[in-house]
Structures are given as structure tokens and as C-alpha cells.
Amino acid sequence: ALQKPGKYVLDLGTGSGAIGLTLASEWPDAQLVASDLSKTALDVARQNAIKLGVIQRCQFVNSDWFHSLEGQFDLIVSNPPYISEGEMALLSREVKNHDPSLALFAGPDGLSAYRTISAQAKNYLVAGGRLLLEIGHRQASAVSQILQEQGYIDIAVHQDLDRKDRVVSCRSPT
């Protein structure tokens, strides 16, 4: 289980808010900033925050990654787009027709969002702050390497319930 890292949490690319709003629900003193490029996604996340009773501790920001964000955070979480151009054809019709492409595709190798996030997140994390990134089940090594090259420490890979690599966590250097 994720140990509570501190008060200020950023859910980067929040979508419906599932990750960030769950953390806000579980940690009653957490202050959540939920950001997304999609205003429609932010509207959905805002409605979900109301339903969960955490709206008073949430701020919603329309932002292209970190572009419109200020401040520092104890924890940054993100489930960024991670599907490569080559994997597009392998997706089910249901996924292709339901999810916005902006939320799915991340360039030729599926890693462009990780490069952007890792290069910028350290400027928004407190010293020793944590970054957690959801990954595709074959991306653990590549994402870990990107984080290492950016100077993050305590890099670890966590598996989902199907024992597939699903999250890479790390800390900003102190």
C-alpha cells in the first residue's frame, strides 16, 4: 500500500480523477491539484470530486503537463498516455472508439510523456518528494532508465494484481 507522503498531491493528466480523487478520499488532510489538458476531463473529475465529498480539497487546472502549474508537491501521480504508434493497430475497437486519442498515444515509442514528465517533475517536487507513473506492462525498464537519467533516486517497479509491471515510483533527489 502507498504510504501517505505529505499533504500536497498533484494528479497530472487526471482524466476522470480516479487516481487523485482516490488519494484525496483516503487521505483526509491531502490537498489535491488535478490537472488535464482536456476541459471535458476536468469537468468529469470535478463532478466525481463532488460525488466523493472531496471537492473542497481539490483544485482543477487546465494545463498541458506542468505549463500552467505552480508550487511544489509531496507526491505527483500520473497515468500518462503510453501506447506507441506501432501498438495502435492492436487495440480493441472498444478502446479506440471510447478513449480519446490524447489520453492513449505517446509517440513512436510510447515514451514521450515519460520524458516530458520526468524532465519537469523534479522542479515541482519537494526535496525527497515522490513521483509515481503508471506504465504499460513492457515499459518498466525504459521508464526506469529515463528516470535514472534525470537524476531520480529510489526507483522501483510495482506490479498490478495480474503480476504485470504497472507503476514505476521514484523520489526526487534531496
Cell numbers describing residue 3: 504510504
Question: Which of the four pLDDT bands, split at 50, 70 and 90, describes residue 168?
Answer: very high
Give the pLDDT score at 12: 97
Query: pLDDT tens across 71-129, in order?
Result: 999 999 999 975 655 555 555 566 555 555 554 545 556 688 999 999 999 999 999 99
Please return the burial class of 135, using the count of CB atoms within 10 Å of its CB with bins 0-12, 13-18 and 19+: buried
Give the pLDDT score at 174: 73
CATH number of 8-171: 3.40.50.150
Domain boundaries, the chain: 8-171
Q: Which of 33-37, 103-107, 128-132, 163-167 has the lowest mean pLDDT?
A: 103-107
Query: pLDDT tens across 109-123, in order?
Result: 668 899 999 999 999
